[in-house]
């Protein structure tokens, strides 16, 4: 009887020792991160506690993966561990690591699709992002994505990201379309997106978007051609920079995207407009203006009168000549005011006067793309 008592006592002491040893090791500080203040670990979906423990040990986050697994099982937390990408702080205990995996707060990555990019351009950004997974699938239809900065966790697929951008635009339209201004010349939201894409490319100044939208809407109502350079560029290069000016032959070509020749909206959007450009065409400024031209300070001057427009064009030409007379140093930024200067009536005899008047072909096209790149 005495021997049995002694044996039980020894077993109890051993059990208590093992318990306290496990408690101490589970809550004791863990290894220091080899680089920086944390170690990045990605736990893939479907991994069990044994695989997780081994991965944590291989990453240097815990000293013994088997002890981590035992500690998790003893506490009944096996099923609570979540997949994800985690930043494990340097010196975190196994208890800390378990808590992080249970909380499931993964590292958030971000991807930015800038306003004015085409669907192909956004597709390429998504396709090249190393934190996304899988195939991106087909290139989305032009103008169906909402440019923004999106947060995501590792494990998100490229196709899911593109679908998320499309849903974001659909939600925005579902909110803005019913509240649009009355009597707009749009049959469907797709028409609004097409015009918003032109507005997006015509001005980089947020305060001007509603005014630029009003000019184009007024021209649509009157049956005037939109005469917008960005539509021609899209028809030639798919929205990529031409690296040169628009040729006279391209201005005269009867193509679906040449709004100097073809009346109405282009057959598709020419880029993915941002929420501000979409809002601008659905709530345009109250204006009768039909023309705009660069003002020499980065913005535009607007008018409803062709005579006043021609005077504005003449002033712009003088500013242009002054700009040419003063050579800029190589490191100086591009001169302002060349972005939306479209062709005047003097260059399109017999045609309705366009919305604006350009600089010489080469500076105009180069300036337009410089603005595009800066906004990206």
Domains and CATH numbers, the chain: 37-106 (3.30.1490.480), 109-173 (no CATH), 180-375 (no CATH)
How do beta strands 291-294 and 300-303 pair?
antiparallel
Which residues, at least 6 apart from 226, have a Cβ–Cβ distance to it below 8 Å? 198, 216, 219, 220, 259, 264, 265, 355
| 101-119 mean pLDDT | 95
Burial class (CB in 10 A: 0-12, 13-18, 19+), 3: exposed
DSSP 322-343: HHHHSPPPTTSPPPTT-SS---
pLDDT level of residue 17 (50, 70, 90 thresholds): low
pLDDT of residue 26: 80
SS3 111: strand
Cα 214 from chain centroid (whole Å): 26
* Interval 34-92: pLDDT, tens: 888 999 999 988 888 899 999 999 999 999 999 989 888 988 888 999 999 999 999 99
| 225-236 mean pLDDT | 95
pLDDT at 300 over 60: yes
Q: Cα(245)–Cα(321) distance, rounded to whole angstroms?
A: 18
Higher-pLDDT residue of 319 and 214 is 214
Whole-structure pTM over 0.85, yes or no?
no
Which of 272, 283, 269 is CA-nearest to residue 176? 283
pLDDT at 276 over 70: yes
Q: Cα(56)–Cα(107) distance, rounded to whole angstroms?
A: 16
SS3 43: strand
pLDDT level of residue 9 (50, 70, 90 thresholds): low
């Amino acid at each position: 009887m005495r021997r049995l008592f002694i044996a039980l006592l020894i077993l109890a002491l051993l059990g208590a020792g093992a318990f306290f040893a496990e408690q101490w090791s589970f809550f004791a500080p863990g290894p220091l991160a080899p680089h920086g203040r944390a170690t990045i670990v990605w736990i893939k979906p479907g991994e069990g506690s044994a695989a997780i423990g081994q991965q944590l040990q291989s990453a240097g986050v815990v000293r013994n993966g088997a002890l981590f697994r035992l500690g998790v099982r003893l506490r009944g937390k096996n099923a609570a561990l979540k997949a994800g990408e985690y930043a494990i702080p340097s010196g975190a205990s196994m208890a800390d690591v378990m808590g992080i995996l249970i909380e499931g707060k993964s590292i958030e990555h971000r991807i930015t699709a800038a306003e004015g990019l085409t669907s192909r351009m956004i597709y390429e950004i998504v396709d090249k992002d190393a934190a996304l997974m899988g195939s991106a699938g087909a290139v989305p239809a032009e103008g169906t994505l909402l440019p923004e900065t999106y947060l995501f966790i590792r494990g998100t697929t490229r196709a899911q990201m593109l679908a998320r951008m499309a849903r974001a635009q659909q939600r925005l339209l579902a909110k803005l379309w019913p509240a649009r201004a009355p009597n707009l010349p749009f049959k469907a939201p797709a028409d609004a997106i097409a015009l918003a894409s032109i507005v997006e490319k015509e001005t980089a100044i947020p305060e001007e978007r509603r005014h630029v939208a009003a000019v184009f809407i007024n021209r649509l109502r009157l049956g005037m051609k939109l005469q917008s350079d960005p539509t021609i560029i899209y028809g030639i290069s798919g929205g990529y920079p031409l690296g040169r000016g628009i040729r006279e032959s391209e201005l005269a070509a009867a193509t679906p995207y040449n709004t100097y020749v073809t009346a109405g909206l282009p057959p598709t959007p020419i880029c993915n407009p941002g929420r501000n450009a979409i809002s601008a065409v659905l709530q345009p400024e109250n204006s009768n203006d039909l023309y705009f031209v660069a003002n020499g300070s980065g913005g535009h001057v607007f008018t409803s009168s062709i005579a006043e427009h021609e005077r504005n064009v003449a002033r712009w030409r003088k500013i242009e000549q002054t700009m040419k007379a003063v050579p800029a140093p190589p490191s100086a930024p591009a001169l302002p005011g060349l972005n939306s200067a479209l062709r005047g009536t003097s260059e399109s005899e017999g045609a309705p006067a366009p919305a604006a008047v350009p600089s010489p072909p080469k500076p105009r096209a180069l300036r337009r793309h410089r603005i595009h790149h800066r906004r990206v």
